[in-house]
Amino acid sequence: MEVKSIVLGVEGMTCNSCVQTIEQHVGRINGIHNIKVSLEDKNAVIIYDSKLQTPATLREAMYDMGFDATLADSNPQSVLLDTVFLTIPTQSSLTSKQICSALLKNKGVVDVKMSSDQRTAVVAFIPSVVNGKQVMQMVPGVDLSISAPEVTPGTCESSSWSQASSVVLRLKVEGMTCHSCTSTIEGKIGKLQGIQRIKVSLDNQEAAVVYQPHLITAEEIKHQIEAAGFTASFKKQPKPLKLSAIDLERLRNTQTKGSETVLKEMSSTNDTKTVVFRIDGMHCSSCVLNIQSTISALPSVTSIVVSLEKKSAIINYNPNLTSIEVLRRAVEAVSPETFKVSLPEEYNVALLPTLMSTLKSPLPALKDASQPLTQVVVINIEGMTCNSCVQSIEGVISQKAGVKSIHVSLTNHNGAIEYDPLQTCPEDLRSAIEDMGFDASLPVPAHPSLTEPLSKVSPAHLVRQEAKTVSKCYVQVTGMTCASCVANIERNLRREDGIHSILVALMAGKAEVRYNPAVIHPSAIAELIRELGFGATVMENCGEGDGILELVVRGMTCASCVHKIESTLMKTNGVLYCSVALATNKAHIKYDPEIIGPRDVIQVVKDLGFTTSLVKKDRSASHLDHKQEIRQWKRSFVVSLVFCIPVMGLMIYMMVMDSQLSDAHTHHNMSSEEMEALHSSMVLEYQLLPGLSVMNFLSFLLCVPVQMFGGWHFYIQAYKAVKHKTANMDVLIVLATTIAFVYSLVVLLVAMAEKAKVNPVTFFDTPPMLFVFISLGRWLEHVAKGKTSEALARLISLQATEATIVTLGPDNVLLSEEQVDVELVQRGDIVKVIPGGKFPVDGRVIEGHSMVDESLITGEAMPVTKKPGNTVIAGSINQNGSLLISATHVGADTTLSQIVKLVEEAQTSKAPIQQFADKLSGYFVPCIVAVSVVTLFAWIIIGFVDFEIVEKYFLGYNKSISAAEVIIRFAFQASITVLCIACPCSLGLATPTAVMVGTGVGAQNGILIKGGEPLEMAHKVKVVVFDKTGTITHGTPEVTQVKFLVEGNQLPRNKMLAIVGTAESNSEHPLGTAITKYCKKELDAETLGTCTDFQVVPGCGISCKVTNIEGLLHRKNKMVEENNIKNVTLVKIEENMEESVQPALIIDAELPATRTSEKYSVLIGNREWMSRNGLVVKNEVDKAMMEHERRGRTAVLAAVDGVLCGLIAIADTVKPEAELAVCTLKSMGLEVVLMTGDNSKTARSIASQVGITKVFAEVLPSHKVAKVKQLQDEGKRVAMVGDGINDSPALAMANVGIAIGTGTDVAIEAADVVLIRDDLMDVVASIDLSRKTVKRIRINFVFALIYNLVGVPIAAGVFLPIGLVLQPWMGSAAMAASSVSVVLSSLLLKMYQKPSPEKLEFRARGQMRHKSPSEISVHIGIDETGTGSPKLSLMDRIINYSRASINSLFSDKRSVNSVVLSEPDKHSLLVGDFGDDDDTAL
């Protein structure tokens, strides 16, 4: 007989009379044990016999009474029964059958069974309706008493019986994040009736439950776990138990505690108090549920609401049963016992009327405790005019789901609404009132703790809330050097609670984190990054998170269009700011790229009926090609030239005529008067007005436009310079031309005023000629500058302009594709790149295979293979296959944009030598002006004191001019020439042009130099420190030697390689990977055999079974045979060679006939692993292993079918170019040091191979910094070369940090120079380039200074006695020439070629040799005292040499199966020189 309980929603009840009517009417129906109706909750809880009634019949019974009934819960709950044993007295007046029927007539009694002797009745009853005592008194006239059941022989004790009938259930539980989650589940499920034991495993994400199926079902357990907020599924279906009726009765009787006691406790909750606690230490909603479920189970607690965001708990409790202190301790004791509980200071205990609904029945008691409580909100309502408005609001709002009651007041203009916070919220209610046409507003909450809903919040609601409260912050991360740093940060932070996602941009050194502010805050995120060993600071108000969009909007006609666009965009979720200008047709929009993308914004504007497009950005790098300046100076030059040619013509004509006159004067002895007459009769000397000759008038006319138009730019620049109290080149030019022009004009006006007979001498020819040469110089200089920035312009032009965005359906089916501007690509977009196309953004390949040319970015000449999962760089070119990529970095975040930014910053940063030049120019101009003034006055004084000197040296002097005028004219000419020839320009150009060309050439050669400082500093370097792993060596282990320990006829070489390679193919250990890679290469195979029963013992080795290698060997042997046949035809093979090859071929030839797959049992590992598995390692093998270990290698043994058959030596191998690079650096006069965290054995071995004599071994990353500092304190300039992962502090500390990064793993923060290719020869190239650049800068300074140092004295007339005199125009020509020559000299750097390895190898042929141990000094840790090898005496050396020679003769026989890769010279074993390997060098 099954008793069920169901909750029916009842509509239409108005008062308590309705309640009583329902209870009486329904209570009388057959099969109804109990009914409890609640007017407030508008529901009825009915306990019924499922054999007699169904939920549908109960609903009909309600309908018949005139009430609407709805099923609140479609699944009726089973009701737990209690059992009581009654002893029937022997002298009873009633028979046992009569007693049974009398008992069954009572409500609450479900079943009665009689024992065989008719003396005991087993009564099953519903404890919530009736209790044991009432059952005893149910039969009038019969005195029934409760008896303990007899334990008859042959039956078990009830407890052990219950144990035997238990079922184990295994559930998979997903969504657990911490131990608090496991405690929640264990606590919640463990309390359920019928659960005996529960164990939850966080690692396996599963729960094992032992339960009694007659009390609780597996479905119910799963349902309860899901109610706690986790996803549960059955791993194995539990088997149902078959029990007889009497077993059930007996089991029911073993229940722990009668439910009626719970009832009593619950019913005494009429006077409750509320306390608010502050709880610290909660991480997620699982902690919340854990506290709620544990505390709500306490008998004294009526309700509890925990808030993760507010870190608070509101507890309703019975003060008669508990105290605040006890509750506080109870919360702290909740597993995992890490919560800190305190009372807020302002808290005072307030007596609140309980909001608990009355209990309906004992079964839903727990459910009801967790049912939502109601809240009241008061909404201000404006616009009501009469009671009809009040009624319409009340009528509509009361119908809304979740609204319990509403009372609207016309006088107070507000409405008080009682509602269920889980079904609706104040905002919904307010908008519902507004929808009716009234103005509604919410009041500001007075006290936050009281507005907290006193209800349990469902986990789903919590998740929704969490999703709503996601914030975003940016963290500046320093010390990242490569992609592995990025992966490290992203991987570790994703594990933290409260962090939703993280994206790290390496080149920008920035992390974008989305997090839940209730759980974690930005400073804590920065701290987490710092704990990983990086520098991290939160970027305040980082506007870069906002996208900025500039649009051209067509079709706007008036201000209303503007308003329409602005208002629509501002309402759009994710748009932060919008401004539209009607006059320019432009819109400026700021948006959050997380929520909305540029394409969405454009679509919104298009939907309004306007056409819109992006404002075209200038991608041509025009700011670098100096086109505008070139155009400007070219125009200036042409204007000046047009006016200058006639002036020059006039001047030359006058000079020729003057020289003819002076000749006539000397040869024909003409008198002065005749001369004057002849002079004035010349055409150009003809006076138009008294004192104004044709010559002067024409010169004046031609000079004015040049002074105005040609010199316009100079005047503006000079004015700006003077305004800022500085003096530059332009000030000098303006001074020279203005003085000449003004002086000439004044002299002319004075002559006209005096109506002079003799025409005055003017300088109108100076300005045009000066401007011509200066503008020519500037024009050429900008043309040259444009050339120096070519490298950068090329980088910028790599950027693609358009992208093809595709939409994918299920299984990556292409649904649509569209071409968009590259600025419109959003993060996460799927972009299609066709063969020959450029990658528009950085991304990850999701589909397709192709080769990609990254040469312009990484300098790597060979195309790189790309397959799903690989990253691609914007600007690289896709070659043969079509690819689909998912965009990870767009816009300014792409690698290309960051490289461009780096190079730009480098070219604009000033080298220290440049700052010196700038300083010099500052003093230079005032000095020149001073020299010019001194020259003027000196010549005036000299002239008046001794006129003969001027007369003697002043060329073109004629007697028709007065002496005073001659002196002044000469003095002015000299001082103006001084101003003209002095040029600080060339000084200013000397460094930046060379730096620009140098960095550009570096970038083209795969060397990124960050600015002028490292470029200049590199040539001063005296010590180069190399990191070992990943810099001198490859950084990944490789097989260096394989030694076969069995003869070839037992186990052929290829067979062993195939077995060993297959065995290691399942291993994830780097050594295993190295072995597999080597075997595949040797066998020339992509796939190997099959590996089963694979077991790995960390620190020892592996064991497994290998099959299916025959096909592989057959294929290999076929290839060997073919090769042998080819070789026979080409070369006459020697007899012994043929003999040695033959047996192997014969053995293998039989293979295809007997093609059964053999199974080999394989062991690979160290000595200990072999001895554990019962294999003996022979002495000579042990010695060989020790020899390898002495050389810093790892020696691994391999056994097949219980026989030791191979010794494999594995080491991190040296890069092939390392030795040449070290040798070249030494030949350049640099000291080379090796610094590593590895042990001294390995360090010494590597150092000997590359020729380094000074080694610092076992150095911690922090000590590397100290070591660099130590070298610097000795007065040495240090360059540090590292691969960046652990070297970044030392790279930053060194004078020049050089980071080696394969591809674009650029060590942004730490290094000054980044070698894009993984090639050590680039270290040599970078230092060489620096030396060449600095040499070029010095040559430039020489050019610049020679002009000035030589030109100024000549112009000032110091060399007048030897006939050296300069005209002003000659001065300006010389000045222009100095600037142009400096720039041309810098451009010669473009011819720079990297030193080629072939040349360097030829040069270093004699010097390259492996070092012996005695030559290497090894320093352990940070100390200076080296553990240098003991110096060997001559005798020791001779003994060692002879021993080595003898050993080499007796070394193990070279059999066919010994892999000889190269033959070292035997005698190179002198003094254990471990540059070469003994048997087999790789």
Active site residues: 1027
Whole-angstrom Cα distance, residue 1195 to residue 1206? 10
The encoded tokens of residue 1357 equal 């007339």
Contact 3, 126 (CB under 8 A): yes
Contact 317, 301 (CB under 8 A): yes
For the chain, what's the residue count? 1482
Whole-angstrom Cα distance, residue 296 to residue 594? 40
Radius of gyration of the chain (CA): 49
Whole-angstrom Cα distance, residue 1014 to residue 1279? 10
Tokens 């991190």 identify what position? 1212
Whole-angstrom Cα distance, residue 1431 to residue 217? 83
1189: CB partners within 8 A, 6+ apart? 1195, 1241
Helix (H, G, I), strand (E, B) or coil at 1219: helix
Q: What are phi and psi of 346, to 5 degrees?
A: -80, 5
The encoded tokens of residue 640 equal 């000046």
The encoded tokens of residue 657 equal 């005529």
- Quick one: three-class SS letters along 1466-1478? HHHHHHHCCCCCC
Contact 288, 462 (CB under 8 A): yes
Burial of 184 (0-12, 13-18, 19+ CB in 10 A): buried
Q: Following DSSP, what letter does each residue of 1014-1039 receive, concatenated?
A: HHHHGGG--EEEEEIIIIIEEEEEEE
Contact 324, 364 (CB under 8 A): no
The encoded tokens of residue 1152 equal 């295809």
The encoded tokens of residue 549 equal 């969009």
Contact 82, 132 (CB under 8 A): yes
Contact 482, 1284 (CB under 8 A): yes
Whole-angstrom Cα distance, residue 973 to residue 981? 12
695: CB partners within 8 A, 6+ apart? 650, 654, 684, 685, 759
Which is it for the CA torsion 947, 951, 953, 958, positive or negative? positive
User: End-to-end alpha-carbon separation of the chain, Å?
Assistant: 84
Between the CA atoms of 1404, 1410, 1414 and 1415, what dihedral angle is there, to the nearest 10 degrees?
Answer: 20
Q: What are phi and psi of 1165, to 5 degrees?
A: 170, -160
Give the closest residue to 1401 by CA, choosing from 1222, 1256, 1273, 1269: 1222
Give the closest residue to 1307 by CA, choosing from 539, 526, 478: 478
How do the residues of the chain divide into helix, strand and coil, expressed in percent and rounded to 5? 45, 20, 35
Contact 1290, 1422 (CB under 8 A): no
How many CA atoms lie within 13 Å of 181's alpha carbon, on the beta-carbon side?
24
Tokens 């100390």 identify what position? 1423
Whole-angstrom Cα distance, residue 536 to residue 1425? 37
Q: Which spans in 1310-1425 are helix H?
A: 1321-1356, 1368-1387, 1397-1403
Burial of 1251 (0-12, 13-18, 19+ CB in 10 A): buried
How many CA atoms lie within 13 Å of 1354's alpha carbon, on the beta-carbon side?
19
Write the DSSP symbol of residue 708.
I
